[in-house]
Structure 1
Amino acid sequence: MSAESEPRYPFVVVDVSAEVSDELAATLFELGASGVEERDDQTLLRGVGAGRVTLVASFAERAEAESAIEALREIDATLTPRIEEVVGDAWRDAWKEHFAPFALTPRITVAPPWVEAPTPPADGHVLWLEPGRAFGTGLHATTSLVAELLDAHADELSGKELLDVGTGSGILAFVALKLGASRAVAVDNDADVIEVVEENAERNGLRDRVEAREATTEDITREFPWVVANIEARVLRPMAEDLVRLVAKGGWLILSGILESEHDEIVARYLGLPRGLRHVETRRRGDAAAADTAWVAIAFAG
């Protein structure tokens, strides 16, 4: 097949400040993007650095991408969006060459299924993971911070059931199970990622201990001793009541997807609810002085 006849995939690429990246990503979806990747200093493919985020939005047709660029310029004339095209299907697997086994926590090594089995740490485990079209390789700070908190509190987690809200690839549910959780319920509002979670569960021999389904917090009616949600602060704010409602008495709630600059507001939001949670611990990644680029994960307990 010649290059002229191969399929072409248009992307809108725009560099923005970290504090407006979530809002602009949502705008790109409203403009017709089928997916939006965020690249920063913590992701597999780096952004432009210096507290900036590179948004890469995929579109079905070039005309749609061009319309989105016009709309972005009308919204903010200082933006400099551009179109990039990839020809052919090889790009779909190109990221795999950068995804090698790595230590996610002191006891969990993450490995992609196309490599030889790595040696796990002492008293540790290998987690086989292919993110596919779902977020969550473990390489981003928001994911690794939650995983580290689960590892640090593995004794309390052992034998308990965990709810993973916004599960993506299912990585946090699998980390919990490897660390001794009895069962995990993994939910996401994106139906496409559920198959990814089920495939990863099968790879790790965990299929009978994971329930993966399309759902939101509003769809869940029972409580869990452990709840984790690695989403974004703009989503965690309005869903605070629902998330806290799902935490059993004496249970744990871990949140991430939160910048240092958003930390105090999120803590106040969750502590201000009638349920009476207490703030147990905050873990940080990055320079706390650069509050719009450093990430945090926050642990609460009932």
Structure 2
Amino acid sequence: MTEWKEFKVHINGEATEAVSNILIELGSAGVSVVDRKDFLSLPEYGFDTLWALDEKAFPDDGVVIKGYFYGDDASKETELALIENIESLKSFDLDIENYEVTTEDVVEEEWANAWKKYYHPVSITRYMTIVPQWEEYSKNHEEEKIIYLDPGLAFGTGTHPTTKLCLQALESSLRGGETVLDVGTGSGVLTIASALLGASKIQAFDLDDVAVKSAYDNIQLNDLNTEISVQANDLLKGIDVQADMIVANILAEIILLLIPDAFKNLKPGGKFLSSGIISEKKEEILLSLKDNGFEIEQINQMGDWVAILAIKPAED
């Protein structure tokens, strides 16, 4: 039986997105996040819950981020590189003074099937449900939109608060026919949602080629006819598009770098939806948005996470 190595990082929840990206960039074939808030929270509209829960599996504080490596990727050098990259996050002013990295051997045949029992359809809103590709699911009503994902691709199942906030904001903002830019697309869940909500042209970007493939595969899984392109790119550098909406669910410090280009690439009256913002960083993001010419339309919060919907003022 094939053996993999599981790398576990027990760390402050503020670093979830950053550490997940580090694991992927080091070659992880999958990433999962164990967060006590998932145990304590139910989806807003009920139906099915994400976890068949065992409270003992959830940390009392922080989160446990797991990455899975095979063969040469599962080396001591990988572990050292992981620690080095986590240490570098301190330059972003993240609270990660106390963290722990451990490893464990995992047998593929057991892992590949056992974890699926914990992932079921999740209703993000009354009109939007995320369904793993192997699950049979029938709509609860005609207007319900279904996003099929392969979470084995490991760039997010769409159930983290930062993603939920984005999906809810997209549902209330898109009316059909829009041009959307998805920056840091990951699994492609926000791209897929934008297409299902009627956006007619979508460009998705991610710095990592593995993420680009993940997004592309999930887009194909949903058999979308919308004009969608997915490519590797560093935020919006070199991109010259006049969009109706730009969405970015990434680290707050990276959003700060993105804000000027987001303003430049929006039509007058266009909207910039940013998420992945820990509550302590909210005021810094709001200040930068205003300094760059944005008006704040909406601020939404779920637990410690914040999403901000800003608008580029219409021309007089």
TM-score by length of 2: 0.77
**In the alignment, which residue of structure 1 is the partner of 2:299?**
282
Q: Tell me, what secondary structure is at the counterpart of 2:306?
A: strand
Offset from partner CA, 1:195-237 (integer Å, 9 cap, x none): 3333322332314522122223113122211100001112112
1:236 maps to 2:246: no
Q: Conserved in 2, the CA contact under 8 Å of 1:120 and 1:126?
A: no
**In the alignment, which residue of structure 2 is the partner of 1:268?**
287
**In the alignment, which residue of structure 1 is the partner of 2:47?**
none
Which AA in structure 2 matches 1:14?
Answer: V
1:135-284 correspondence to structure 2 within 5 Å: 135-155=155-175, 158-216=176-234, 217-273=236-292, 276-284=293-301
Which AA in structure 2 matches 1:136?
Answer: G
**In the alignment, which residue of structure 2 is the partner of 1:297?**
307
Q: Conserved in 2, the CA contact under 8 Å of 1:9 and 1:85?
A: yes
Q: Conserved in 2, the CA contact under 8 Å of 1:106 and 1:151?
A: no
**In the alignment, which residue of structure 2 is the partner of 1:18?**
13
**In the alignment, which residue of structure 1 is the partner of 2:77?**
64
Deviation at 1:153, TM superposition (A): 2.1
Which AA in structure 2 matches 1:63?
Answer: K
Which AA in structure 2 matches 1:40?
Answer: D
**In the alignment, which residue of structure 2 is the partner of 1:289?**
none
Q: Which has the higher contact order (CA 8 A, sep 6+)?
A: 2
**In the alignment, which residue of structure 1 is the partner of 2:92?**
none
- Cα separation, 2, equivalents of 1:139 and 1:247: 28
Q: Tell me, what secondary structure is at the counterpart of 2:297?
A: strand
Q: Aligned in 2, Cα 1:185/1:99: closer, same or farther, shift over 3 Å?
A: same
1:97 maps to 2:117: yes
Q: Aligned in 2, Cα 1:94/1:120: closer, same or farther, shift over 3 Å?
A: same
**In the alignment, which residue of structure 1 is the partner of 2:4?**
9
- Cα separation, 2, equivalents of 1:21 and 1:171: 18
Of 84-93 and 173-182, the range deviating more from structure 2: 84-93
Query: How many pairs does the alignment contain?
Result: 284
Which AA in structure 2 matches 1:298?
Answer: I
- Cα separation, 1, equivalents of 2:295 and 2:97: 44
Q: Conserved in 2, the CA contact under 8 Å of 1:233 and 1:262?
A: yes
Deviation at 1:42, TM superposition (A): 4.8
Q: Conserved in 1, the CA contact under 8 Å of 2:18 and 2:251?
A: no
Q: Conserved in 1, the CA contact under 8 Å of 2:249 and 2:275?
A: yes
**Identity level (%):** 28
1:112-123 correspondence to structure 2 within 5 Å: 112-123=132-143
Q: Which residues of structure 1 form unaligned runs of 5+?
A: 1-5, 287-293
Q: Conserved in 2, the CA contact under 8 Å of 1:107 and 1:122?
A: no
Q: Tell me, what secondary structure is at the counterpart of 1:219?
A: coil
Which AA in structure 1 matches 2:263?
Answer: V
Which AA in structure 2 matches 1:203?
Answer: L
Deviation at 1:67, TM superposition (A): 4.2
TM-score by length of 1: 0.80
Deviation at 1:265, TM superposition (A): 0.8
- Cα separation, 2, equivalents of 1:26 and 1:179: 27
Deviation at 1:73, TM superposition (A): 12
